[in-house]
Amino acid sequence: MLSKNRLRLAIQKSGRLSRDSQNLLKKCGIKINLQKSSLMAFAENMPIDIMLVRDDDIPGLIMDGVVELGIVGINVLEEEKLARKFLGTAAQSYKILQNLDFGLCRLSLAVPMDTEYLNVFCLKNARIATSYPHLLKKYFDKKVFFFKPFVLNGSVEVASNAGLADAICDLVSTGATLEANGLKEVEVIYRSSACLVSQNMNNIPLFKYQLIKKLLTRIQGVIKARE
């Protein structure tokens, strides 16, 4: 059972950010007992509970006030905010406390290697597979033309190979996934890295606020030392 007297911090269970997130907490002197199959871990030497979840769920957990802190990509955070705005959901607030020095990636448009591509107008009316429909819409709204979004929560790169889409819009880090799927990156629409994010600070009790400040100072120290 979660204790109200402990700070709750959500990190990615498995994926690009998990190892770096765990290392950062370790470097901050937090002793965590991570059990492979468990979704919860308890810090031994600080009143902090760590929740291991899908990165895509972290923004919602913060905005709905389930956890006070999270480590997540700014792209996922922005997408959730836009999605909630679109749906008219009241809870959309959060605060980025610190940009982190890992999880660097970009949200890009990519097309099959053999597609002739001059500029973004080649994608007018194109069918585009993505897990980020709202960030993509924001980008195309600025270009003032229409496209057909197609939401896939994973394996987006496969969509164009399978003939489901003319283009894809997905995260690129090293570019290996695009290459492996015969795709070329043609436009960068959003740049992202991991960040430490919190609930709106007004809702946080004083002792938790102080603990967050202490943790933030340590995180800033770790980042500074790595520069």
Q: Please give the residue ranges that form the binding site for Zn ion (CB under 5 A).
A: 55-56
Under rule CB under 6 A, residue 175 binds ligand PRP: yes
The answer to whether 7 touches 48, Cβ cutoff 8 Å, is yes
The answer to whether 12 touches 54, Cβ cutoff 8 Å, is yes
Q: How far apart are CA 158 and CA 164, in angstroms?
A: 9
The answer to whether 165 touches 76, Cβ cutoff 8 Å, is no
Cβ distance to Zn ion smaller for residue 79 or 166: 79
Site size toward ligand PRP (CB under 6 A) is 12
Q: How far apart are CA 157 and CA 190, in angstroms?
A: 18
Q: How far apart are CA 185 and CA 7, in angstroms?
A: 41
Cβ distance to ligand PRP smaller for residue 54 or 124: 54
Q: Using CB distances below 5 to 8 A depending on partner kind, what does residue 149 bind out of Zn ion, ligand PRP, none?
A: none
What's the length of the chain? Answer: 227
Q: How far apart are CA 132 and CA 47, in angstroms?
A: 35
Under rule CB under 6 A, residue 137 binds ligand PRP: no
Within positions 1 to 30, which residues make up the interface with ligand PRP, using CB under 6 A? 15-16
Report in angstroms how near the CB of residue 218 gets to Zn ion at its nearest. Answer: 27
Selected binder of ligand PRP within 1, 90, 144, 176 (CB under 6 A): 176
Q: How far apart are CA 175 and CA 130, in angstroms?
A: 16
Under rule CB under 6 A, residue 144 binds ligand PRP: no
The answer to whether 55 touches 76, Cβ cutoff 8 Å, is yes
Report in angstroms how near the CB of residue 13 gets to ligand PRP at its nearest. Answer: 11
Strands 7-12 and 148-151: unpaired
Under rule CB under 6 A, residue 170 binds ligand PRP: yes
Strand order of the β-sheet with 105-112 is: 148-151, 127-130, 167-172, 105-112, 183-192
Under rule CB under 6 A, residue 57 binds ligand PRP: no
Report in angstroms how near the CB of residue 121 gets to ligand PRP at its nearest. Answer: 25
Cβ distance to Zn ion smaller for residue 44 or 64: 64
Cβ distance to ligand PRP smaller for residue 2 or 104: 104
Q: Report the interface residues with ligand PRP, using CB under 6 A.
A: 15-16, 55, 154, 170-177
